[in-house]
């Protein structure tokens, strides 16, 4: 599928924007980007994107949760179309997760403006705040807020590793956490949401398909486990008298893996991504360990089984070892189906343009999950090399991004001129 001569500028600009944003929070070679939510690199990336929005004639504003909106004024009335994703990254992440979707949205705006007539309905590009849970242990912060799922109390409850609450960080960034819950995406204003994202898994790269049309997004259930044993001298405390929090945690970590393996046939996965051991000295029996657990699947009952299995094992392991275990829930989201009409639209466009595509689930979480609670939403995947993501090794082939970009553009166009 080729790009027509008058519509090539958007895709070229998308590449330039991705490269420019990748310089914000760039680490030393081999260590990717660390553009954690609501930090200075995040601000720099948003400035690039806001500049592009203004250059395209969009009206730029940030909402109470600091999500950045560019809206192209329309000549007519009727609910419009939103294209969105995020700019924040995990620590030592890659260049494309989220950024590609934001830049693709702006590429689409550029292409649509290059060929009259101007869209008769509003078209918005949104950068949602803190899609990654890395800084505040809460994912999809901006899109949750836009769906009315985040209250001022919620953002006071979550904090980063330095003890800065999400509420404080939002405020320092120019947001209004006390006003959360007042700006909710309304179907009266918006008819559809589209998000383009790298797959972050190996399916498309293996099958050679250029586009994944996502049917459902797996939802994470996340919680913290704090194991408290007895801190002791590693030389003087005999083995029989120990209450080692780290060895207990080791068994719990293996139980999380076993729960994921038991439910793998349903496509579920289970991960301990954080293990902090205190006091963390070679000559001290660990007294306290914090684990952060992430369980995901597209079947709620499978995720619930993993959670029960992990908790039953944690209770028995800790009981046997004389270690206490306390659970703090972070989130328990439900798997979300994408809108059937929009997925059918994407499928038709792929067929008409001979794009190799497949319908598939998403293992990773996306802002589309929460926007879908408000308006019809669709998620388009493009391949990433070897399926690697959340890693400095995240890589794409631009030639394999182009078909997905064009499918996005055509779908947006159809919805705007309906
Ligand atoms: C977002 O990247 C996630 O953790 O799924
Ligand atoms: Mn991510
Ligand atoms: Mn992402």
Q: How much is the average pLDDT of 193-206?
A: 98
Question: What does the pLDDT read at residue 148?
Answer: 97
pLDDT tier for residue 2 given thresholds of 50, 70 and 90: very low
pLDDT tier for residue 8 given thresholds of 50, 70 and 90: confident
Question: What does the pLDDT read at residue 6?
Answer: 54
Ligand 3 centre distance from Cα of residue 178 (Å) = 26
Question: What does the pLDDT read at residue 301?
Answer: 96
Question: What does the pLDDT read at residue 244?
Answer: 98
Res. 116: pLDDT tops 60: yes
Q: How much is the average pLDDT of 52-66?
A: 98
- Structure confidence by residue, pLDDT tens digits, 381-417: 999 999 999 999 999 999 999 999 999 999 999 999 8
Buried b (16+ CB within 10 A) or exposed e, 324-352: ebeeeebbebebbebbeebbebbbebbee
- Structure confidence by residue, pLDDT tens digits, 171-183: 999 999 999 999 9
Query: Domains of the chain, with CATH numbers?
Result: 8-218+335-416 (3.40.630.10), 219-332 (3.30.70.360)
Instruction: Please give the distance of CA 153 from its chain centroid, rounded to a whole number.
Output: 22
Q: Please state, in angstroms and rounded to a whole number, the distance separating the CA atoms of residues 155 and 168.
A: 9
Res. 49: pLDDT tops 70: yes
Concatenate the DSSP letters of all residues of 74-89 into one string: -SS-S-EEEEEEE---
Res. 5: pLDDT tops 50: no
Residues with CB under 6 A from ligand 1: 132-133, 139, 364-365
Q: How much is the average pLDDT of 285-290?
A: 98
Question: What does the pLDDT read at residue 127?
Answer: 99
Q: How much is the average pLDDT of 370-379?
A: 98
Give the atom of ligand 1 at the shortest distance from the alpha carbon of 363. 5
If one residue of 363, 364, 369 were mutated to test the ligand 1 pocket, choosing by the most ligand atoms within 8 A of its CB, it would be 364
Ligand 3 centre distance from Cα of residue 242 (Å) = 43
Question: What does the pLDDT read at residue 7?
Answer: 62
Q: How much is the average pLDDT of 201-219?
A: 96
Ligand 1 centre distance from Cα of residue 216 (Å) = 15
Res. 306: pLDDT tops 90: yes
Q: Please state, in angstroms and rounded to a whole number, the distance separating the CA atoms of residues 271 and 257.
A: 7
Ligand 1 centre distance from Cα of residue 70 (Å) = 24
Q: How much is the average pLDDT of 199-214?
A: 97
Could you tell me which residues are beta bridge partners of residue 197? 381
Give the atom of ligand 1 at the shortest distance from the alpha carbon of 364. 5
Res. 339: pLDDT tops 50: yes
Closest CA to 33 of 95, 100, 86, 102: 95
Q: 2 or 290, which is more confident?
A: 290
Could you tell me which residues are beta bridge partners of residue 293? 223, 272
Question: What does the pLDDT read at residue 76?
Answer: 77
- Structure confidence by residue, pLDDT tens digits, 146-156: 999 999 999 99
Q: Please state, in angstroms and rounded to a whole number, the distance separating the CA atoms of residues 24 and 46.
A: 10
Query: Are 82 and 194 within 8 A, CB to CB?
Result: yes
Question: What does the pLDDT read at residue 418?
Answer: 73
pLDDT tier for residue 323 given thresholds of 50, 70 and 90: very high
267: left (phi over 0), alpha (psi -120 to 50) or beta: left
Q: How much is the average pLDDT of 332-361?
A: 97
Neighbouring residues of 284: CB distance < 8 A, sequence distance ≥ 6: 231, 232, 233, 234
Res. 75: pLDDT tops 80: no
Res. 325: pLDDT tops 50: yes
Looking at 154-279, which runs of residues are DSSP E strands?
190-198, 211-217, 219-228, 232-233, 269-278
Q: Which ligand lies nearest to the CA atom of residue 86 in the structure?
A: 3
């Amino acid at each position: 599928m080729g790009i027509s001569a008058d519509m090539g500028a958007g895709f070229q600009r998308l590449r330039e924007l991705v490269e420019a944003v990748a310089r914000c929070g760039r680490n030393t070679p081999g260590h990717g980007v660390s553009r954690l939510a609501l930090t200075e690199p995040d601000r720099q990336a948003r400035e690039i994107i806001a500049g592009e929005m203004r250059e395209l004639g969009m009206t730029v504003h940030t909402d109470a949760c600091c999500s950045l909106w560019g809206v192209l004024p329309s000549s007519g009335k009727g609910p419009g179309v939103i294209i969105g994703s995020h700019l924040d990254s995990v620590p030592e992440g890659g260049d494309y997760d989220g950024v590609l979707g934001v830049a693709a949205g702006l590429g689409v705006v550029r292409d649509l403006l290059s060929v009259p007539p101007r869209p008769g309905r509003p078209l918005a590009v949104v950068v949602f705040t803190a899609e990654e849970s890395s800084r505040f242990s809460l994912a999809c912060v901006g899109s949750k807020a836009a769906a009315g799922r985040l209250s001022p109390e919620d953002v006071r409850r979550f904090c980063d590793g330095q003890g800065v609450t999400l509420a404080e960080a939002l405020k320092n960034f120019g947001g209004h956490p006390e006003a959360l819950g007042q700006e909710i995406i309304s179907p009266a204003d918006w008819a559809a949401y589209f998000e383009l994202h790298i797959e972050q898994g190996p399916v498309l790269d293996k099958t050679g398909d250029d586009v994944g049309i996502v049917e459902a997004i797996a939802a994470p259930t996340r919680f913290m486990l704090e194991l408290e044993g007895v801190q002791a001298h590693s030389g003087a405390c005999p083995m029989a008298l120990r209450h080692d929090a780290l060895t207990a945690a080791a068994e719990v970590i293996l139980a999380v893996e076993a729960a994921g393996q038991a439910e793998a046939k349903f496509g579920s996965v289970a991960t301990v991504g954080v293990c902090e051991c205190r006091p963390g000295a070679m000559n001290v029996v660990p007294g306290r360990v914090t684990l952060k657990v992430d369980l995901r699947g597209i079947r709620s009952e499978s995720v619930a089984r993993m959670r029960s299995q992990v908790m039953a094992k944690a209770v028995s392991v800790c009981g046997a070892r004389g270690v206490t275990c306390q659970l703090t829930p972070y989130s328990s989201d439900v798997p979300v189906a994408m809108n059937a009409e929009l997925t059918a639209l994407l499928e038709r466009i792929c067929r008409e343009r001979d794009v190799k595509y497949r319908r598939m689930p998403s293992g990773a979480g996306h802002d589309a999950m929460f926007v879908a609670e408000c308006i019809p939403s669709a998620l388009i995947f493009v391949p990433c090399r070897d399926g690697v993501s959340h890693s400095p090794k995240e890589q794409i082939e631009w030639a394999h991004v182009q078909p997905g970009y064009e499918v996005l553009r055509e779908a947006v166009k159809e919805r705007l001129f309906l």
